[in-house]
Structures are given as structure tokens and as C-alpha cells.
Amino acid sequence: MSIEDRRARGGDSPWRRGRVLAALAVLVAGLQAFPRAVPNAVGSLGSLLETFLPWVGLAVPVLLVLALLRRSAIAMVSLVLPVAVWAAVFGARLSPADGGAAHDLTVLQHNVGEENPDPAGTARALAGAGADLIALEEVMPAARPVYEAVLAPGHPHHVVVGTVGLWSRHPLTDSRPVGIRPEGVTGDWNRGMRATVRTPSGDLAVYVAHLPSVRIRLPDGFGTRWRDESAAALGAALAAEPLDRIVLLGDLNATLDDRGLAPVTSRMTPAVAGFGFSWPAAFPLARIDHVMTRAATPVATWTLPATGSDHLPVVARIRL
């Protein structure tokens, strides 16, 4: 059959061309709406998808260009679906942070980076951010005196456990390590702590945590086992906390969409205004640095400019 005959029978009409592109548009919408349909059994592909879930929407302009080149009406109409799903899932995060909302406490969370070339400059930037509480991860022994010296004038109370620390304007009591070490991790590995902060509005428990890193390696895929074990241990510690009010500050090496963080997110309210991508600092792609609360309300959150770290500092205001 000639091209002319196919066109005469409607086989090459704009509503028939590009059905594969239309199917891909529906697939993109499905992945955005139901990421947990992708299993973690093989290479933790589900967690990998959830880590970069907002970026799945970039498939839409690619499919649009292909639909225009194909002159496919059905493909272009089908693209309405992934656009609508993306707007429903992530549209609220486009709203600017309400920096003027009433609050009782300003907190700052930052992985300062073990290879930070300028810890003094980083500490000065954090000290000038106006936070009542400053939580740091990857505080290496050589750099620790620098952070203590620079932060002490505005934050005279502090405690460091392993490579995580908390600096506060208010007195700290009952500080202790939190056991989040995964099975199989050896050596001097202490990356969780808890302290009671005596604020003018009452006591609250503050947790600082740095969960294990994740890596993409062949043939294993997205390696999250240690991170997931550590998240489960942290979730159990939060569940057992006797104080009602909790603030969790940490580099959790997981996004809020990642099912591996469910033991924590199921018990806490995250500060989520905006996308808040915090890593990598040079071109942030994922929000893996978090502020979360229990029996308290996050009212605003945002990131600060880059320091010498590969993470961006995250600030949040909390109403107690």
C-alpha cells in the first residue's frame, strides 16, 4: 500500500501517529504519581527513582519536541497528563517561603564537609545566619576547634558526638549518643546524638543525625542497605523519645520521597517549603539535608549560599 493510500484511509493521521510517544507520556505520569510501584528488589531502583522524582518531569519537554517533529496530535494531548500529575505532586513546592511567619526558634542544619578547605569561613557564615540552633555533620577532629572558636560567642552551649555536633544559644542538658550504626560498619563511627534544649518556650529534644551515604555502583545498583538500616534505628529512637517536642536536624542521605526514609518521615513533620535542593552544592539536585519536627510546626525553610562544603546549609523556622 502506498503512502497516499495509507493517508487516504487515515493510517497516517495526526491522531494515529506517535502512539509510542503517547504511551511514554502516560508512563511518565504513572512514575510521578506511583513511584512505589517500581520495586526495590533489583538494585533499589524504586529509591533511585524517588531520589530524583521531581526531575522526571524533564521528560515532558523532550517528549514535546519529539511530538512536534512527529506531528502527532495524540502525543501532544497525552502530555497534558504528566504535566497535570507533576503540578499536583510538586506544584505546592513552587510557593516562596513565608519568612515573616510567627515562630519561636530558628534552626540551621549543615553537613560542613570533611574536605572543607575553609572551615573558618564556613563557621563565620553559619554564625551570621541568625539561628538559635546550629547542627553540623562531618565535623572532623582537625576542624572541630575552629568551629568551636567561631561559633562560641553566639552559641555558647555545644556538644559534639563523633562527627556530629549541636551549637545552641540556649542551655543543653542530657546529651548522649544515639545508636544508628548499621550492622557491618566498623571503626570509630558515631553519627547520631540527642540533647535537651532549654528554650524560653520549654524543653525540646533535638536530634542530630548523619545517615550513611548511598552510591550507584555496577552491578549492585543503588546501594541503600546501610542507609535504610540506620534510618530504621533513628526512627526507633525517635519513637522512644519521652519528650513530646522533637526537632530532628541531619544529613539523612535520602529525599522525603524515598521509601527508605519512611521509618523517620512516618513519625515526623518535615519542613518542606520549596524544593530546597541541598546537594551537590555546585548544582543541587536533591534535598537530602532535613529539618523535621514532632509536636512543633515548621513555618518556613530555605537554603543558604554555598560554603566550602559540597552541601548547602538549610535553615528553618519553627513554631513551638
Give the amino acid at 244.
D
Name the least confident of 33-47, 95-109, 141-155, 273-287: 95-109
Phi first, then psi, for residue 36 (nearest 5°) are: -75, -5
Query: How far is residue 234's CA from residue 237's CA, in Å, rounded to a whole number?
Result: 5
Kindly report, residue by residue over 187-244, the tens digit of the pLDDT.
889 999 999 999 999 999 999 999 999 988 877 789 999 999 999 999 999 999 999 9
pLDDT given for residue 219 in this prediction: 72
In the predicted structure, residue 9 carries a pLDDT above the cut 90? no
Instruction: Let me know: does 310 contact 284? Beta carbons within 8 Å.
Output: no
DSSP state of 312: -
pLDDT given for residue 289 in this prediction: 98
Residue 174: band (very low, low, confident or very high) from pLDDT cuts 50, 70, 90 = very high
How many of the other CB atoms lie within 10 Å of CB of 128? 10
Residue 168: band (very low, low, confident or very high) from pLDDT cuts 50, 70, 90 = very high
Residue 3: band (very low, low, confident or very high) from pLDDT cuts 50, 70, 90 = low
Residue with more model confidence, 287 or 100 = 287
Q: Which three cell numbers stand for residue 124?
A: 563565620
Strands 221-223 and 289-294: unpaired
In the predicted structure, residue 125 carries a pLDDT above the cut 60? yes
In the predicted structure, residue 312 carries a pLDDT above the cut 60? yes
> ∠250-179-284 over CA atoms, to 5°?
20
pTM over 0.75: yes
In the predicted structure, residue 27 carries a pLDDT above the cut 90? yes
Instruction: Let me know: does 256 contact 242? Beta carbons within 8 Å.
Output: no
Q: Which three cell numbers stand for residue 172?
A: 543543653
Kindly report, residue by residue over 30-58, the tens digit of the pLDDT.
999 999 999 998 899 999 999 999 999 99
